[in-house]
Amino acid sequence: MRNLVNILDLSTEEIDDLIKTASDIIDNPELYTNSCRGKILGTLFFEPSTRTRLSFTSAMMGLGGNVLGFSQAASSSISKGETVSDTIRMVSAYSDIIVMRHPKEGAPIVASAVSSVPVINAGDGGHFHPTQTLTDLLTIKKKKGGFNNLTVGVCGDLKYGRTVHSLIAAMSRYENVKFVLIAPSELALPDYVKAEYLDGKCEYTEIAGLEESIDRLDILYMTRIQAERFESKEEYERLKDSYVLTADKLKSAKADLSILHPLPRVNEISVDVDDDPRADYFDQAMYGRYIRMALILMLLKTKGISDSRLIGVENSSLECTNTHCISRTERGIKRLFTSSGACIYCDQQAKTK
């Protein structure tokens, strides 16, 4: 059994295979209409979603399978105090594959440890969102032809933007990829993402201004400031309009720039950009259905591989202080840390008690 918790659970060869399958589904959808006949996808969304939940639902329907699930925590027994572990034990008895979104970082690790069917992470707090990255990679392949030799600007909320963390992890494996990280200092990329995926692997610069770098970008990946993750409403109000991409600001950009955004957008891309031929974000959302079809097929086919991530040591002198980490709320799980003292659920450095 195989799960997708972090985009790096997939090798670059497997990502190539998924892109090939997705492209074949786009060209020949009729060949796949019975591929998952009799199979059930469980969609457990403890946080709101439009694209991820509905594209997974549409993907399973396009493969001839069925879907069950919920779209908000309030309509599940989590609202009565049930743990993630118990919820997943139940749903893995009712379905053949599970896709879950949860506000707590590391929740899919807890889920995959107890599930008897594959678990797909559809976003865990401000941590990772690997299937968005598959969508992004299919879009980049279609628009740019490949992944090497690209200068990628990522702009906005790089602290809480889970799509950014997964995109950086994935793209840093390709040759001569350069990142321009555009964010106010309060929303800079977390240290654990830099240490794990950038330092010593990829050239990158951190800047605060969008206009000063736009002319050298091959891809501009805009992101929403994630209101729901802020501890302080005042800080969100102060930072929420840090970046607004307009048609005017694109005048100095390359003619073949690809403008991406995982969506939903608020103000960060003006609607006057939508008609620009470089605006690829609606195509990007459309591709999500096909790459998720390919992923469901792949995970349902893979047998006999166990990929438990509960690898770490218990250390009673350490505590994870990340208030968004599942280890702080889930009952009955082991608090585990890596040898360098990071929490295995959220990857953030733990503190000595």
For residue 233, give every residue at least 6 positions away whose Cβ sits within 8 Å of its Cβ, in sequence order, or none: none
CB of 50 or CB of 252, closer to ligand CP? 50
Q: Whose structure tokens read 């199979």?
A: 39
Give the chain's radius of gyration (CA, Å).
Answer: 20
Q: Which of 91, 152, 263, 273 binds ligand CP (CB under 6 A)?
A: 263
We find the least distance from the C-beta atom of residue 52 to ligand CP, in angstroms, to be 3
Give the H or E element holding residue 90. helix 84-94
CB of 288 or CB of 318, closer to ligand CP? 288
Residues 250/278, Cβ–Cβ less than 8 Å: yes
Residues forming a β-bridge with 153 = 180, 220
87 touches ligand CP (CB under 6 A):
no
49 touches ligand CP (CB under 6 A):
yes
Count of residues engaged in binding ligand CP, rule: CB under 6 A: 9
- Rounded CA gap, 336 and 139, in Å? 37
Paired tokens of 83:
């743990």
We find the least distance from the C-beta atom of residue 264 to ligand CP, in angstroms, to be 6
Q: Which of 264, 282, 310, 317 binds ligand CP (CB under 6 A)?
A: 264
Give the H or E element holding residue 27. helix 12-27
CB of 75 or CB of 321, closer to ligand CP? 75
CB of 39 or CB of 101, closer to ligand CP? 101
Q: Which of 52, 139, 242, 258 binds ligand CP (CB under 6 A)?
A: 52
- Rounded CA gap, 187 and 333, in Å? 31
Task: List the interface residues with ligand CP, window 324-343 (CB under 6 A).
Answer: none
We find the least distance from the C-beta atom of residue 164 to ligand CP, in angstroms, to be 12
Q: Which of 132, 133, 322, 327 binds ligand CP (CB under 6 A)?
A: 132
Task: Pinpoint the alpha helices (H) of 104-241.
Answer: 107-114, 130-144, 162-171, 191-193, 233-239
Paired tokens of 4:
């997708």
Give the x/- contact pattern for ligand CP in 196-215, rule: CB under 6 A.
--------------------
- Rounded CA gap, 265 and 66, in Å? 30
CB of 49 or CB of 57, closer to ligand CP? 49
The helix/strand/coil state of 260 is: strand
Q: Which of 262, 280, 309, 318 binds ligand CP (CB under 6 A)?
A: 262
CB of 65 or CB of 130, closer to ligand CP? 130
How far is the first Cα of the chain from the last one, in angstroms, to the nearest whole number?
Answer: 37
CB of 161 or CB of 202, closer to ligand CP? 161
57 touches ligand CP (CB under 6 A):
no
How many Cβ atoms sit within 10 Å of the Cβ of residue 193? Answer: 24
Q: Which residues bind ligand CP (CB under 6 A)?
A: 49-52, 123, 132, 262-264
